[in-house]
Amino acid sequence: MARILSSIPLHPEAEHSNFREYSKGERFGAGLNLKPAPYLPIVKVDSTINAGVVIRKGTFVTLDENGFIVPAFIGDKTLTYTDIDVSHGVIDIDTDAAVT
């Protein structure tokens, strides 16, 4: 009896490539239009892009009642604004105006 061997393996091996995707961080949340809350104080300024960072990498996040991204924390949290927040036009959570 002759046996016919298929050229297609039963468990194909994954193909590898040298392709890598690089992103500047615009893509977040599988295409959802999520933005950090405008009232978050700046924790550091990124001089490369001249912008304030309000949530550090690796921080657990959640959505506030308006759909903005905020750090997830338990309990009360006091927001403290500095001169950096004033110069970048951060919005005060209590007054909805730029902090002074």
SS (H, E, C) the chain: CCCCCCCCCCCCCCCCCCCCCCCCCCCCCCCCCCCECCCCCCCEEECCCCEEECCCCCCCEEECCCCCEEECCCCCCCCCCCHHHHHHCCECCCCCCECC
- The whole-model pTM stands at 0.61
* Structural domain boundaries, residue 85: 33-100
Position 25 in a domain: no
Position 11 in a domain: no
Mean pLDDT of 18-38: 64
Position 5 in a domain: no
Quote the number of domains for the chain.
Answer: 1
Position 79 in a domain: yes
- Predicted confidence (pLDDT) per residue in 47-58, tens digit: 887 788 888 888
Position 17 in a domain: no
Position 72 in a domain: yes
